[in-house]
Protein backbone atom coordinates (compact mmCIF):
# COMPACT_ATOMS: atom_id res chain seq x y z
CA UNK A 1 0.00 0.00 0.00
CA UNK A 2 1.20 3.55 -0.78
CA UNK A 3 2.83 5.33 2.14
CA UNK A 4 1.53 8.78 1.26
CA UNK A 5 -1.61 10.52 0.10
CA UNK A 6 -1.26 13.06 -2.69
CA UNK A 7 -2.96 16.41 -3.22
CA UNK A 8 -3.34 16.86 -6.96
CA UNK A 9 -5.75 19.78 -7.20
CA UNK A 10 -6.64 22.89 -5.18
CA UNK A 11 -9.27 25.59 -5.50
CA UNK A 12 -11.17 28.27 -3.63
CA UNK A 13 -13.72 30.97 -4.10
CA UNK A 14 -12.81 34.50 -3.07
CA UNK A 15 -13.56 34.90 0.63
CA UNK A 16 -15.69 37.79 1.89
CA UNK A 17 -19.25 38.86 2.61
CA UNK A 18 -20.73 37.27 -0.49
CA UNK A 19 -24.24 38.69 -0.52
CA UNK A 20 -24.94 37.60 -4.09
CA UNK A 21 -23.87 33.97 -3.60
CA UNK A 22 -25.42 31.06 -1.72
CA UNK A 23 -23.81 28.18 0.14
CA UNK A 24 -24.47 26.07 -2.97
CA UNK A 25 -22.77 28.63 -5.22
CA UNK A 26 -19.54 28.87 -3.23
CA UNK A 27 -19.31 25.13 -2.61
CA UNK A 28 -19.73 24.41 -6.32
CA UNK A 29 -17.17 27.08 -7.25
CA UNK A 30 -14.47 25.72 -4.93
CA UNK A 31 -15.15 22.14 -6.03
CA UNK A 32 -15.01 22.98 -9.73
CA UNK A 33 -11.76 24.94 -9.40
CA UNK A 34 -10.06 22.09 -7.53
CA UNK A 35 -11.27 19.47 -10.02
CA UNK A 36 -10.13 21.57 -13.00
CA UNK A 37 -6.76 22.11 -11.31
CA UNK A 38 -6.33 18.38 -10.73
CA UNK A 39 -7.08 17.12 -14.22
CA UNK A 40 -9.42 14.39 -12.94
CA UNK A 41 -12.83 13.65 -14.42
CA UNK A 42 -15.91 13.45 -12.25
CA UNK A 43 -16.05 9.72 -12.94
CA UNK A 44 -12.57 9.29 -11.40
CA UNK A 45 -13.74 10.54 -7.99
CA UNK A 46 -15.06 7.80 -5.71
CA UNK A 47 -15.78 9.76 -2.53
CA UNK A 48 -16.48 13.24 -1.20
CA UNK A 49 -16.15 14.82 2.26
CA UNK A 50 -17.10 18.33 3.32
CA UNK A 51 -16.19 20.17 6.51
CA UNK A 52 -18.80 22.52 7.94
CA UNK A 53 -19.56 23.75 11.44
CA UNK A 54 -23.15 24.91 11.40
CA UNK A 55 -24.89 25.38 8.07
CA UNK A 56 -28.14 24.37 9.77
CA UNK A 57 -28.00 27.49 11.92
CA UNK A 58 -26.40 29.84 9.42
CA UNK A 59 -28.43 28.88 6.33
CA UNK A 60 -31.01 26.27 7.36
CA UNK A 61 -29.33 23.51 5.33
CA UNK A 62 -27.85 20.28 6.68
CA UNK A 63 -26.90 17.02 4.91
CA UNK A 64 -24.13 18.88 3.06
CA UNK A 65 -22.28 15.81 1.82
CA UNK A 66 -25.26 14.66 -0.22
CA UNK A 67 -25.92 18.23 -1.36
CA UNK A 68 -22.33 18.73 -2.58
CA UNK A 69 -22.33 15.46 -4.53
CA UNK A 70 -25.70 16.34 -6.03
CA UNK A 71 -24.84 19.86 -7.19
CA UNK A 72 -21.52 18.63 -8.56
CA UNK A 73 -23.18 15.92 -10.63
CA UNK A 74 -20.97 13.33 -8.98
CA UNK A 75 -23.54 10.55 -8.87
CA UNK A 76 -24.17 8.11 -6.07
CA UNK A 77 -20.71 8.05 -4.50
CA UNK A 78 -20.34 7.99 -0.70
CA UNK A 79 -20.46 11.60 0.55
CA UNK A 80 -19.64 12.56 4.12
CA UNK A 81 -19.91 15.75 6.16
CA UNK A 82 -17.81 16.33 9.28
CA UNK A 83 -17.92 18.87 12.11
CA UNK A 84 -15.22 19.89 14.58
CA UNK A 85 -16.11 23.56 15.18
CA UNK A 86 -13.40 25.80 13.65
CA UNK A 87 -11.36 22.66 12.87
CA UNK A 88 -14.08 21.21 10.62
CA UNK A 89 -12.02 21.81 7.48
CA UNK A 90 -8.96 20.13 8.95
CA UNK A 91 -11.17 17.24 10.03
CA UNK A 92 -12.43 16.84 6.45
CA UNK A 93 -8.85 16.67 5.15
CA UNK A 94 -7.95 14.12 7.83
CA UNK A 95 -11.07 12.04 7.07
CA UNK A 96 -10.09 11.83 3.39
CA UNK A 97 -6.46 11.11 4.29
CA UNK A 98 -7.47 8.15 6.45
CA UNK A 99 -10.01 6.88 3.90
CA UNK A 100 -7.44 6.87 1.10
CA UNK A 101 -4.65 5.55 3.30
CA UNK A 102 -6.85 2.63 4.35
CA UNK A 103 -7.65 1.71 0.76
CA UNK A 104 -11.36 2.49 1.14
CA UNK A 105 -11.15 5.26 -1.47
CA UNK A 106 -8.77 6.06 -4.33
CA UNK A 107 -9.62 9.64 -5.36
CA UNK A 108 -11.61 12.02 -3.15
CA UNK A 109 -12.93 15.55 -3.41
CA UNK A 110 -12.46 17.41 -0.12
CA UNK A 111 -14.43 20.57 0.56
CA UNK A 112 -14.84 23.05 3.37
CA UNK A 113 -17.57 25.69 3.33
CA UNK A 114 -19.41 28.17 5.52
CA UNK A 115 -21.93 30.91 4.66
CA UNK A 116 -21.96 33.15 7.73
CA UNK A 117 -23.32 36.51 6.57
CA UNK A 118 -26.94 35.47 5.92
CA UNK A 119 -27.81 36.01 9.60
CA UNK A 120 -27.36 39.13 11.70
CA UNK A 121 -24.26 39.60 13.82
CA UNK A 122 -25.95 38.55 17.07
CA UNK A 123 -27.16 35.30 15.53
CA UNK A 124 -23.71 34.69 14.03
CA UNK A 125 -21.98 35.22 17.39
CA UNK A 126 -24.46 32.92 19.15
CA UNK A 127 -23.82 30.22 16.56
CA UNK A 128 -20.06 30.55 16.87
CA UNK A 129 -20.31 30.44 20.68
CA UNK A 130 -21.66 26.89 20.69
CA UNK A 131 -18.12 25.79 19.79
CA UNK A 132 -17.16 26.69 23.37
CA UNK A 133 -18.54 24.97 26.46
CA UNK A 134 -22.06 26.36 26.18
CA UNK A 135 -23.22 25.28 29.64
CA UNK A 136 -20.29 26.86 31.50
CA UNK A 137 -19.12 29.60 29.11
CA UNK A 138 -21.55 30.60 26.38
CA UNK A 139 -24.65 30.53 28.55
CA UNK A 140 -23.05 33.08 30.87
CA UNK A 141 -22.14 35.44 28.03
CA UNK A 142 -18.53 34.39 27.48
CA UNK A 143 -18.25 34.93 23.73
CA UNK A 144 -15.12 33.91 21.83
CA UNK A 145 -13.69 37.45 21.99
CA UNK A 146 -14.11 37.28 25.78
CA UNK A 147 -12.50 33.85 26.08
CA UNK A 148 -9.52 34.83 23.94
CA UNK A 149 -9.30 38.09 25.90
CA UNK A 150 -8.84 36.01 29.07
CA UNK A 151 -6.00 34.20 27.33
CA UNK A 152 -4.44 37.42 26.08
CA UNK A 153 -4.62 39.21 29.44
CA UNK A 154 -3.09 36.21 31.22
CA UNK A 155 -0.32 35.98 28.62
CA UNK A 156 0.45 39.66 29.09
CA UNK A 157 0.55 39.25 32.88
CA UNK A 158 2.70 36.10 32.91
CA UNK A 159 5.13 36.93 30.11
CA UNK A 160 5.03 40.68 29.60
CA UNK A 161 3.50 40.51 26.12
CA UNK A 162 2.78 44.08 25.01
CA UNK A 163 -0.12 45.70 23.19
CA UNK A 164 2.24 46.43 20.30
CA UNK A 165 3.18 42.74 20.05
CA UNK A 166 -0.50 41.80 20.18
CA UNK A 167 -1.10 43.95 17.09
CA UNK A 168 1.83 42.61 15.06
CA UNK A 169 0.25 39.36 13.76
CA UNK A 170 -2.53 41.47 12.25
CA UNK A 171 -0.05 43.79 10.51
CA UNK A 172 1.97 40.86 9.14
CA UNK A 173 -1.02 38.90 7.95
CA UNK A 174 -2.68 41.84 6.22
CA UNK A 175 0.58 42.52 4.40
CA UNK A 176 0.62 38.90 3.20
CA UNK A 177 -3.05 38.93 2.18
CA UNK A 178 -2.42 41.96 -0.03
CA UNK A 179 -0.87 39.43 -2.45
CA UNK A 180 -3.62 36.80 -2.15
CA UNK A 181 -6.39 37.16 -4.73
CA UNK A 182 -8.68 34.91 -2.69
CA UNK A 183 -8.33 36.90 0.55
CA UNK A 184 -11.17 38.90 2.10
CA UNK A 185 -8.93 41.86 2.96
CA UNK A 186 -6.27 42.54 0.33
CA UNK A 187 -4.68 45.55 1.94
CA UNK A 188 -1.97 46.37 4.45
CA UNK A 189 -2.91 47.84 7.84
CA UNK A 190 -0.55 50.08 9.87
CA UNK A 191 0.06 49.09 13.48
CA UNK A 192 -1.38 52.41 14.68
CA UNK A 193 -4.71 51.62 13.05
CA UNK A 194 -4.81 48.17 14.69
CA UNK A 195 -4.06 49.60 18.12
CA UNK A 196 -6.73 52.31 17.81
CA UNK A 197 -9.50 50.06 16.49
CA UNK A 198 -12.57 49.55 18.68
CA UNK A 199 -12.41 47.32 21.74
CA UNK A 200 -14.11 43.94 21.49
CA UNK A 201 -13.10 42.52 24.88
CA UNK A 202 -10.17 44.20 26.61
CA UNK A 203 -7.37 43.88 25.53
CA UNK A 204 -8.64 42.53 22.19
CA UNK A 205 -9.73 45.00 19.54
CA UNK A 206 -11.71 44.65 16.32
CA UNK A 207 -8.53 44.34 14.22
CA UNK A 208 -7.18 41.59 16.49
CA UNK A 209 -10.08 39.39 15.38
CA UNK A 210 -10.85 37.37 12.27
CA UNK A 211 -13.96 38.63 10.44
CA UNK A 212 -17.32 37.09 9.65
CA UNK A 213 -16.67 35.42 6.30
CA UNK A 214 -18.39 33.48 3.54
CA UNK A 215 -16.19 31.09 1.61
CA UNK A 216 -15.34 27.62 0.40
CA UNK A 217 -12.13 25.76 -0.44
CA UNK A 218 -11.44 22.44 -2.11
CA UNK A 219 -8.81 19.76 -2.67
CA UNK A 220 -8.58 16.67 -4.82
CA UNK A 221 -6.65 13.92 -3.02
CA UNK A 222 -5.61 10.47 -4.23
CA UNK A 223 -3.31 7.51 -3.68
CA UNK A 224 0.35 8.29 -4.27
CA UNK A 225 0.66 5.79 -7.11
CA UNK A 226 -2.16 7.49 -9.02
CA UNK A 227 -0.88 11.05 -8.67
CA UNK A 228 1.42 11.14 -11.70
CA UNK A 229 -1.49 10.07 -13.88
CA UNK A 230 -3.03 13.48 -13.30
CA UNK A 231 -0.29 16.00 -12.52
CA UNK A 232 3.44 16.64 -12.65
CA UNK A 233 3.32 18.66 -9.42
CA UNK A 234 1.71 16.53 -6.71
CA UNK A 235 2.06 17.53 -3.06
CA UNK A 236 2.02 14.78 -0.44
CA UNK A 237 0.50 14.64 3.02
CA UNK A 238 3.33 13.18 5.05
CA UNK A 239 1.47 13.12 8.35
CA UNK A 240 -1.97 13.87 9.81
CA UNK A 241 -2.53 14.00 13.56
CA UNK A 242 -5.36 15.10 15.85
CA UNK A 243 -5.42 15.79 19.57
CA UNK A 244 -7.90 17.16 22.07
CA UNK A 245 -8.17 19.12 25.32
CA UNK A 246 -10.91 20.25 27.69
CA UNK A 247 -13.74 22.18 26.07
CA UNK A 248 -13.87 24.83 28.80
CA UNK A 249 -10.93 27.08 29.59
CA UNK A 250 -11.47 26.81 33.34
CA UNK A 251 -10.62 23.09 33.29
CA UNK A 252 -7.11 23.62 31.86
CA UNK A 253 -3.90 23.73 33.81
CA UNK A 254 -2.93 26.86 31.87
CA UNK A 255 -4.99 29.05 29.54
CA UNK A 256 -1.84 30.28 27.79
CA UNK A 257 -0.95 26.84 26.41
CA UNK A 258 -3.04 24.71 24.05
CA UNK A 259 -2.01 21.16 24.91
CA UNK A 260 -3.89 19.82 21.89
CA UNK A 261 -1.64 21.92 19.62
CA UNK A 262 1.51 20.78 21.44
CA UNK A 263 0.51 17.12 21.16
CA UNK A 264 -0.80 17.13 17.58
CA UNK A 265 2.21 18.96 16.16
CA UNK A 266 4.75 16.83 17.99
CA UNK A 267 2.96 13.68 16.79
CA UNK A 268 2.82 14.99 13.22
CA UNK A 269 6.54 15.76 13.20
CA UNK A 270 7.31 12.33 14.62
CA UNK A 271 5.10 10.56 12.07
CA UNK A 272 6.79 12.44 9.23
CA UNK A 273 10.25 11.80 10.74
CA UNK A 274 10.98 15.53 10.72
CA UNK A 275 12.10 18.25 13.11
CA UNK A 276 10.62 21.73 13.29
CA UNK A 277 13.70 23.17 11.58
CA UNK A 278 12.76 21.11 8.50
CA UNK A 279 9.49 23.02 8.03
CA UNK A 280 9.69 25.91 5.55
CA UNK A 281 6.21 27.46 5.82
CA UNK A 282 3.39 27.38 8.37
CA UNK A 283 -0.35 28.05 8.39
CA UNK A 284 -1.40 28.55 12.03
CA UNK A 285 -4.93 29.21 13.27
CA UNK A 286 -5.16 32.93 14.12
CA UNK A 287 -8.84 33.56 14.79
CA UNK A 288 -7.48 36.18 17.21
CA UNK A 289 -3.98 37.64 17.21
CA UNK A 290 -3.23 36.12 20.62
CA UNK A 291 -4.03 32.76 19.01
CA UNK A 292 -1.14 33.12 16.57
CA UNK A 293 1.18 34.17 19.41
CA UNK A 294 0.22 31.14 21.51
CA UNK A 295 0.37 28.72 18.57
CA UNK A 296 3.79 30.04 17.62
CA UNK A 297 4.92 28.95 21.09
CA UNK A 298 3.03 25.66 21.23
CA UNK A 299 4.25 24.56 17.79
CA UNK A 300 7.81 25.28 18.92
CA UNK A 301 8.77 28.30 16.81
CA UNK A 302 9.10 30.36 20.00
CA UNK A 303 9.81 29.48 23.61
CA UNK A 304 6.80 29.76 25.93
CA UNK A 305 6.14 33.43 26.58
CA UNK A 306 8.23 34.65 23.64
CA UNK A 307 5.65 34.40 20.83
CA UNK A 308 5.19 38.16 20.70
CA UNK A 309 8.94 38.74 20.66
CA UNK A 310 9.48 36.29 17.80
CA UNK A 311 6.85 38.05 15.68
CA UNK A 312 8.35 41.44 16.58
CA UNK A 313 11.78 40.25 15.40
CA UNK A 314 10.40 39.31 11.95
CA UNK A 315 11.08 35.59 12.30
CA UNK A 316 7.55 34.70 11.13
CA UNK A 317 7.45 37.07 8.15
CA UNK A 318 7.93 35.94 4.57
CA UNK A 319 11.71 35.90 4.28
CA UNK A 320 12.09 35.09 7.98
CA UNK A 321 13.26 31.77 9.40
CA UNK A 322 9.72 30.44 10.02
CA UNK A 323 7.15 32.18 7.75
CA UNK A 324 3.67 31.98 9.29
CA UNK A 325 0.33 32.61 7.55
CA UNK A 326 1.61 33.59 4.12
CA UNK A 327 -2.02 33.44 2.95
CA UNK A 328 -3.00 36.24 5.31
CA UNK A 329 -4.28 33.78 7.88
CA UNK A 330 -7.78 33.78 9.29
CA UNK A 331 -7.40 37.45 10.15
CA UNK A 332 -6.99 38.75 6.60
CA UNK A 333 -7.72 35.85 4.24
CA UNK A 334 -10.95 35.38 6.22
CA UNK A 335 -12.43 32.71 8.46
CA UNK A 336 -15.44 30.91 6.97
CA UNK A 337 -15.34 28.38 9.77
CA UNK A 338 -15.80 25.10 7.91
CA UNK A 339 -13.52 26.18 5.05
CA UNK A 340 -10.56 27.44 7.08
CA UNK A 341 -8.72 24.14 7.56
CA UNK A 342 -9.03 23.28 3.87
CA UNK A 343 -7.88 26.77 2.86
CA UNK A 344 -4.76 26.32 5.00
CA UNK A 345 -3.89 23.18 3.01
CA UNK A 346 -4.59 24.98 -0.27
CA UNK A 347 -2.05 27.66 0.69
CA UNK A 348 0.61 25.14 1.67
CA UNK A 349 0.08 23.18 -1.54
CA UNK A 350 0.51 26.36 -3.60
CA UNK A 351 3.67 27.22 -1.66
CA UNK A 352 5.19 23.77 -2.19
CA UNK A 353 4.27 23.83 -5.88
CA UNK A 354 5.90 27.25 -6.26
CA UNK A 355 2.59 28.81 -7.28
CA UNK A 356 2.11 31.38 -4.49
CA UNK A 357 3.34 34.29 -6.65
CA UNK A 358 4.28 37.44 -4.69
CA UNK A 359 3.90 35.69 -1.33
CA UNK A 360 6.06 32.71 -2.34
CA UNK A 361 8.53 31.35 0.21
CA UNK A 362 11.70 30.57 -1.75
CA UNK A 363 12.52 26.89 -1.98
CA UNK A 364 9.61 25.73 0.20
CA UNK A 365 9.61 21.93 0.43
CA UNK A 366 7.77 21.19 3.71
CA UNK A 367 4.72 22.88 5.25
CA UNK A 368 2.80 22.54 8.51
CA UNK A 369 -0.85 23.50 9.05
CA UNK A 370 -2.52 23.64 12.47
CA UNK A 371 -6.30 24.04 12.53
CA UNK A 372 -7.96 24.34 15.95
CA UNK A 373 -11.53 24.07 17.15
CA UNK A 374 -12.94 26.38 19.81
CA UNK A 375 -10.26 27.69 22.16
CA UNK A 376 -8.08 24.66 21.44
CA UNK A 377 -10.28 21.72 22.46
CA UNK A 378 -9.44 20.21 19.04
CA UNK A 379 -6.20 20.54 17.11
CA UNK A 380 -5.49 18.95 13.75
CA UNK A 381 -1.97 19.12 12.32
CA UNK A 382 -0.96 18.24 8.77
CA UNK A 383 2.55 18.16 7.32
CA UNK A 384 2.87 18.44 3.54
CA UNK A 385 5.91 17.66 1.44
CA UNK A 386 6.88 18.40 -2.15
List active site positions.
86, 335
Backbone angles phi, psi at 217, to 5 degrees: -140, 155
Q: What is the DSSP letter of 47?
A: E
Backbone angles phi, psi at 6, to 5 degrees: -100, 145
Element (H, E) at 109: strand 107-114
Backbone angles phi, psi at 83, to 5 degrees: -135, 130
The rounded distance, in Å, linking the Cα atoms of 77 and 69 is 8
CB 227 within 8 Å of CB 6: yes
Q: Give Cβ neighbours of residue 19 (< 8 Å, ≥ 6 apart).
A: 117
Of 141, 130, 132, the residue nearest 54 (C-alpha): 130
The three-class DSSP label of residue 141 is coil
Q: Is 202 left (phi over 0), alpha (psi -120 to 50) or beta?
A: beta
The rounded distance, in Å, linking the Cα atoms of 163 and 249 is 22
Number of C-alpha atoms within 13 angstroms, CB side, residue 130?
13
CB 215 within 8 Å of CB 26: yes
CB 155 within 8 Å of CB 161: yes
The β-bridge partners of 114 are 215
Amino acid sequence: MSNRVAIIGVGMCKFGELWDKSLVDITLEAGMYSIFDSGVRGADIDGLVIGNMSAGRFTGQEHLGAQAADIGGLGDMPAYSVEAACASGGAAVRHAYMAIKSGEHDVMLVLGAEKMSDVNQTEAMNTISVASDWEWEGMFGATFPALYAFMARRHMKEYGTTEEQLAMPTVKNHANAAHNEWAQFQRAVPIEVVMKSGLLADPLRVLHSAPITDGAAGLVMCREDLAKKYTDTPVFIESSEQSGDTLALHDRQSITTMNAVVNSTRSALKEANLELKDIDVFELHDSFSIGEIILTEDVGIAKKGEGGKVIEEGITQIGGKFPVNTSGGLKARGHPIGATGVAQIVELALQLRGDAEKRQVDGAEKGLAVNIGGTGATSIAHILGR
